[in-house]
Chain A
């Protein structure tokens, strides 16, 4: 439904048609949603009983839209004597400024009506077409229409009111309007969402009312966000556009947890995944660290609040485990879904420690690292005490909630993502390879924090010893001899699940790969079976389940590639990292700067453009974060002590790249990278970016005064 218009603020969002109307059946994904509940499923404007036709829609910002409408049949434009403007902004509930202009030289009398209704569907019900078991009610409180839903003690309400005089009935508001010749009429409509928990009471639209128009408070926070981000200068215009798009989208994806008002973490995707996901929030925070450390700080604090504290099979919870996903709708409330929160993921817990360490490297915020010491230790304990399901020293996963839990608890979470070369699927538990890399990295980074911040040397040494042992065993047990790469997983019998997949790139990022094996892994990553010319495929061409438009079995994920590029840099493969960056950023140009979750794995020379995956979620947080991480890898940014080391390796075709005012423990620093080829006149669809001769790389960095 490409005509859908979406605006949002955190987990509150409105999806309407391009006239601004909402008229949803249970399974239609349109309406006003907040806290995973639909608060309006009907919102239809009529004048004299007739709906209006859109002339144009402006998506002004991600939180506001403006609809220009005229009466008429829609097929033929009749010289309208009226025009209608709906300007809608979301923030809390939503606010709509409705204006009608009379272009005639006679006065008009109009019957203006907003028809309103709500099914209070849970997001999960919209997805799975499930029926409700509670009761609906409507009431009129003075000038206000209240729509409500009640199931036992669970209650949700929508409050609708207007500034102009209206006749309110149980299904909407009617305005008897007279507009003078060439005059106009306007009213503000307020829609507030009410729930007993967790925000308490009714959330009123939050606005700054200035002279001209209502403006959600979040507008100011967007200005501040953009103002504080590092500035990018580059002779490649498309990269600048991609960077700007990423910053704005990331701002839209910010989500303030109930417990931490005013603080933001990255939600997973817009609009259906505007909630806390352990894995997505952590990966996106890592990608964004050189640009904004606040996302990481909030992610670390919020995930700690919800760290698992008990054994709970329904939620796949263990002590120390970091959550997978949190939801607030009716099905979660009545434990028909386990998302209160749900813990079934095997990677977020080690990744939590990775993020904590990386955060400290950038910010020097040792206070937070001390505050979160108990959390980090519990996370590290989880690796050994609860995740080693087979007693072989590797993290593996097998859900305990067999009804509504997740089968695959790694990032490739679709049913067929983990397979042998011949396409067979292994049983459970499954120990996917990247989990072992994360565990290794978590132990190494935990050791650094133990030594430098927690001042527990014995613990640091113990973690390092465990990590060294894990690395040694891993390089022996996962190495596929006849293919010279690491197996995708070990199965329940300890046998190798031997398909070649992009996961081996994450192993480089984690540092678990023996130096001797690194070059072989890189050869695989950059070989034609995995590398399409745009990026590394999730599964190699030629494997039994390979499908260039299979979700985790052949498509290319920009997020995946950004971490692979980081891994390549970690092992010194600068040129290869630059090629990955070039391919993904080239693809971004085709998507107007907004990389989708995934795109097709077809060879680049075959399609010439990246083929969009049919139902990819967009914008999605870690895809939005991918260009940010790729900027980091191209410039070779690495915090070392109180310094930021800059070691650029730009793809061929980028003449110069500057990232100015990079915030961190050093204050603010500018990073410069220089290539050899000026691409100012090379437009879209230019040749694939390649690699630079080593002598073309001139690292420069200079410290800068803090501007404030």
Chain B
């Protein structure tokens, strides 16, 4: 299961930039418990530029949960905000960074891409 999380962060690192985050600069850390050990992912965000490290430096915003939960969020099986309200996920520090960042946790829940409509106007212009 940890593959989902690893793929997510490595994918971000490879992409290196995210337009949705261009107005944000800051550091985020994800503390993901996996039994006895805790896995850390560290993200440096500079106006949408993303650098990812696999370590536990000091960060302005910290999200904590267990690895299985984080996997479930990334794969769309669990909603991050509901998990936060339940106390399964915790958030500390500059919450705006985490709220902006959670938009990247895009799983695909439900019907999927067939919901995309015809794009009537687009096709006629």
Contact = CB atoms under 8 A, between A and B. Distances in A.
B109 A196 contact: no
Given A155-B87, A196-B90, A260-B96, A311 B112 contact: yes
B79 interface: yes
A393 B121 contact: yes
Given A311-B115, A384-B121, A388-B120, A333 B86 contact: yes
B26 to A, nearest CB: 12
A254 B82 CA distance: 24
Given A153-B88, A310-B76, A310-B107, A340 B82 contact: yes
B28 to A, nearest CB: 13
A387 interface: yes
B2 interface: no
Interface in A380-432: 383-389, 391-393, 400
A334 interface: yes
B15 interface: no
A694 interface: no
A120 B52 CA distance: 41
B69 to A, nearest CB: 10
B91 A307 contact: no
Contact of A469 (B79, B91, B115, B121): B121
A309 B86 contact: no
A374 B20 contact: yes
Given A152-B86, A198-B95, A332-B85, A388 B124 contact: no
A386 B115 contact: yes
Interface string A239-257: 0000000000000000000
Interface stretch (A21-29, A166-174, A178-186, A312-320): A312-320
Interface string A313-357: 111001100000000111011110000110000000000000000
B37 interface: no
Contacts of A371: 22-23
A197 interface: yes
A306 B76 CA distance: 16
Contacts of B124: 393, 466, 469
Contact of B19 (A374, A389, A391): A374
A200 B93 CA distance: 9
A148 to B, nearest CB: 13
Contact of A258 (B95, B107, B110): B95
Nearest to A154: B86
Interface in B98-115: 99-100, 103-113, 115
A314 B117 contact: no
Residue of B87, B89, B100 with most chain A CB atoms under a 10 A cut-off: B87
B73 to A, nearest CB: 11
A462 interface: yes
A107 interface: no
A306 B81 CA distance: 10
A200 B103 contact: no
A649 interface: no
B96 A332 contact: no
A309 B106 contact: yes
Q: Report the interface size class on chain B.
A: 35 or more
A476 interface: no
B119 A388 contact: yes
Given A305-B99, A334-B86, A389-B117, A312 B109 contact: yes
A701 interface: no
A501 interface: no
Contacts of B84: 197-198
B109 A384 contact: no
A470 B95 contact: no
Contacts of A400: 110-111
Contacts of A155: 87
Q: Report the interface size class on chain A.
A: 35 or more
A466 B121 CA distance: 6
B95 to A, nearest CB: 5
Contacts of A386: 115-117
Contacts of A372: 23
Given A332-B82, A333-B85, A198 B125 contact: no
A465 interface: yes
A153 B100 contact: no
B33 to A, nearest CB: 13
B103 to A, nearest CB: 5
A259 interface: yes
Contacts of A258: 95, 99
Contacts of B111: 311, 313, 400
Nearest to A393: B120
Interface string A280-323: 00000000000000000000000001110111111100110000
A154 B121 contact: no
Contacts of A198: 84-85, 91, 95
A386 B117 CA distance: 5
Nearest to A469: B124
Contacts of B95: 198, 258-259
A148 B23 CA distance: 39
Residue of B19, B23, B88 with most chain A CB atoms under a 10 A cut-off: B23
Given A310-B108, A313-B110, A391 B85 contact: no
A218 B32 CA distance: 38
B118 interface: yes
B119 A385 contact: yes
B91 to A, nearest CB: 6
Contacts of B76: 310, 312
Contacts of B103: 305, 307, 309
A340 B89 CA distance: 14
Nearest to B85: A333
Contacts of A313: 109-111
Nearest to B19: A374
Given A374-B22, A384-B122, A386-B117, 8 more contacts: A198-B84, A200-B92, A258-B99, A259-B100, A305-B99, A313-B109, A371-B22, A391-B117
In the A-B complex, the 6 residue pairs with the closest CB atoms: A313-B110, A333-B85, A393-B120, A153-B87, A391-B118, A371-B23
Interface of B: 19-20, 22-23, 76, 79, 81-82, 84-92, 95-96, 99-100, 103-113, 115-122, 124-125
14 contacts: A153-B87, A200-B91, A259-B95, A311-B109, A311-B110, A311-B112, A315-B79, A332-B85, A335-B82, A384-B121, A386-B116, A389-B117, A400-B111, A466-B124
Interface of A: 152-155, 196-198, 200, 258-260, 305-307, 309-315, 318-319, 328-330, 332-335, 340-341, 371-372, 374-375, 383-389, 391-393, 400, 462, 465-466, 469-470
